[in-house]
Structure 1
Amino acid sequence: MTRQGSGTSAEASTTREQPRPLGPDSLTWKYFGDWRGLLAALWAGSMQNMHPELGVAVEQHSRFFEERWQRLFRSMYPIGGVVYDGPRAVRTAHEVRGYHNTISGVDRHGRPYHALNPDTFYWAHATFFMSVILTVEYFGGGLSELDKRRLFDEHVRWYRLYGVSMRPVPPDWESFQAYWEHMCREVLEDNGATRDVLDVHALARPPALSWLPAALWRLLRIPLGRGYLWITVGMYHPAVRERLGYRWTRTDELLLRWFGRLVHHGWKLVPRSRRYHPRARAGWRRAAGEIPADAPPVETPVRNLPPASEWHNPAHYVPADLRRRAHR
């Protein structure tokens, strides 16, 4: 098992390169903060949890299953900020890294783990990168091979902002594809954390839909949950699908592709300013000069925060002013 902070001197010199945040000329800016990415959220969460170390860390440390929607929506702010915060992105990346400092322990086999172990931390980032690829492939009109290579290079630049070991990062797009194949076929496992993420039969109302009558939500969540799981299964690598015991037919694939085209063309009717998450939207506005370059980052609404008793926990993203209040 890889220890936190391991690496060669050559790698260390690489990580000392001055990280450069991505900008509005990047494909990552174009795609990562797009709300269509939510269609891959269940896929990303389950793929992350299938990593042996990451899965046990979630089982032992995460409140995800007590506040599924809140955790998802508040996490989008700092993670999106690493892409869209411009000159502040390095600081945001270090804050995100800091949330993982205390996440460690021993798994059921007696093996130690730490969320900042290089292979574990990079795996989470790799799923974010692949969620962009898959979202655009299925719901955004597709990508050329050149675009995929460009997105790969951008994901390396994006990852460098965290200031962690670059040892696990493949050197090029071809190597990444081999890495992904190996992870899906040889490393990922069916575990409790993954099954819990995929269990959407009792999905709670999203905080933004608190106005919706509970009885109506109970009716809606059944088809919505099944549809969301179906999309997720369709996006899985075949080896992952097989490991989890899901069946996928040619008809399923054709239907998913048809649905994806419908989303792609329907999305063109959405005003551009409404297509992006608030943190991403602020990045675009800052780049266009519509708001000051030093404007504070857009933070998550209070409805997405963990219980106030958890605001002091360094593993949670909580806006700084509220965290200071918790420490008083």
Structure 2
Amino acid sequence: MVALATEQAQDAGLFGPDSVTWRVNGDQSMAIAGFRALLLQAVHPLVMAGFNDNTVWFDDMWGRLQRTGDWVGTVTYGTTAEAEKAGRVLRRVHASLPEGVEPESGLPYRVDDPELLRWVHVTEVESFLSTYRRCGGVLRRGEGDQYVDEMRASAELVGLERHTVPASEAEIQDYYDYVQPQLRVSKVARNNTLKFIRPPMPRWVRLGTPARPAWAGMVGLGIAMLPPWARRLYGLPAIPGADLLATANAYAVRRVLASVPLVITSNPAYGRALRRMRSLQPALV
């Protein structure tokens, strides 16, 4: 038992502190990237149908957000054993969900269909990476591709085969070109997006804090940060300078978040990983 605890303490996890993934996924820009990823994932009608049929998002929105944050934190910063366990749990949950039918097209879907899992993975990776860049995050030449390649380890956890997932930014763009004919904003997606902008909040939060306008502002920024083709699917007009304005606003939000103590803004898994790595240092000397 002691040997196992020592081994876990010295485990850098799937990526490790020298990875691009640690740097990107631990950045304050992820607060915006998460909204962008969810809004982009919603334009796949089968993914949105599965989400709508099998989630209690609006009954337990804060709990769902917490679980999503825990997933990203565990996969990014947890030990290898912790990440693999999280993957096994997620795969069991997906496998237990019933098949469904997308109401507008009549097409059947399975939540664990590799095509749907791939869409969710790619949109998350591309959202995290592009938002990090647009918020002022610095990447050296080739590190964008390195991040995409590293994150294929996360795809394997949800049940995808590594070779079926884009390994570079160029492959992500090729994938988007391939999948775009399947995409549209369904009635379910539109209704859920409207609810997402104004989620249920306790009365004291709505009236006594700026949470409501702050939340709506972050969702709006997430929409503004979407690729132009995705904004068109939402029926949004092309406004000159919109991308530049969204980038400037996202940069400002990141600067504000960077001024908040890390104990508030960082994922708890990040702190645990740093302590684990410090315990590993003597073994590396």
**TM-score, scaled relative to structure 1:** 0.71
Q: Which amino acid aligns with 2:273?
A: G
Q: Spell out, residue by residue over 1:196-248, the C-alpha distance to the aligned partner (whole angstroms, 9 max, x if none).
A: 3421453233xxxx69454235x752x33442233122211111111111124
For the Cα contact (< 8 Å) 2:24–2:132, is it kept in 1? yes
Residue 43 (structure 1) aligned to one of 25, 36, 39: 36
Shift of 1:129: 0.8
For the Cα contact (< 8 Å) 2:198–2:216, is it kept in 1? no
Distance 2:136 2:121 in 1: 21
Structure 2 residue aligned with 1:313:
none
Distance 2:116 2:36 in 1: 17
- More helix per residue: 2
Structure 1 residue aligned with 2:148:
152
**TM-score, scaled relative to structure 2:** 0.80
SS in 2 for 1:65: coil
Matched, 1:82 2:72: no
Superposition map of 1:281-300 within 5 A = 281-289=271-279
Query: C-alpha root-mean-square deviation of aligned residues, in Å?
Result: 2.7
Structure 2 residue aligned with 1:195:
190
Distance 2:187 2:138 in 1: 33
For the Cα contact (< 8 Å) 2:117–2:158, is it kept in 1? no
Gaps of 5+ in 2: 1-12, 281-285
Shift of 1:165: 3.3
Structure 2 residue aligned with 1:176:
172
Structure 2 residue aligned with 1:215:
207
Residue 223 (structure 2) aligned to one of 219, 233, 238: 233
For the Cα contact (< 8 Å) 1:39–1:135, is it kept in 2? yes
Matched, 1:111 2:107: yes
Q: Which amino acid aligns with 1:179?
A: Y
SS in 2 for 1:57: helix
Q: Which amino acid aligns with 2:191?
A: D
Shift of 1:145: 4.5
Q: Spell out, residue by residue over 1:122-154, the C-alpha distance to the aligned partner (whole angstroms, 9 max, x if none).
A: 211112211211221222434345121111111
SS in 2 for 1:66: coil
Q: CA separation of 1:160/1:286 partners in 2, compared to 1, >3 Å: closer, same or farther?
A: same
SS in 2 for 1:70: helix
SS in 1 for 2:99: strand
For the Cα contact (< 8 Å) 1:78–1:96, is it kept in 2? no
SS in 1 for 2:128: helix
Q: CA separation of 1:68/1:144 partners in 2, compared to 1, >3 Å: closer, same or farther?
A: same
Q: CA separation of 1:65/1:264 partners in 2, compared to 1, >3 Å: closer, same or farther?
A: closer
Q: CA separation of 1:287/1:211 partners in 2, compared to 1, >3 Å: closer, same or farther?
A: farther
Q: Which amino acid aligns with 2:247?
A: R
SS in 2 for 1:101: helix
Q: Which amino acid aligns with 2:99?
A: G
Q: Spell out, residue by residue over 1:244-275, the C-alpha distance to the aligned partner (whole angstroms, 9 max, x if none).
A: 11124234333322223323444554445554
SS in 2 for 1:164: coil
Gaps of 5+ in 1: 1-19, 291-328
SS in 1 for 2:109: strand
For the Cα contact (< 8 Å) 1:118–1:168, is it kept in 2? no
Distance 1:85 1:220 in 2: 30
The percentage of aligned residue pairs carrying the same residue is: 23
Distance 2:190 2:264 in 1: 33
For the Cα contact (< 8 Å) 2:73–2:268, is it kept in 1? no
Matched, 1:186 2:181: yes
For the Cα contact (< 8 Å) 1:234–1:248, is it kept in 2? no
Residue 161 (structure 2) aligned to one of 146, 159, 165: 165
Q: CA separation of 1:269/1:202 partners in 2, compared to 1, >3 Å: closer, same or farther?
A: closer
Superposition map of 1:252-271 within 5 A = 252-271=242-261
Structure 1 residue aligned with 2:6:
none
SS in 2 for 1:250: coil
Q: Which amino acid aligns with 2:222?
A: T
Shift of 1:168: 3.3
For the Cα contact (< 8 Å) 1:52–1:188, is it kept in 2? yes
For the Cα contact (< 8 Å) 1:36–1:139, is it kept in 2? yes
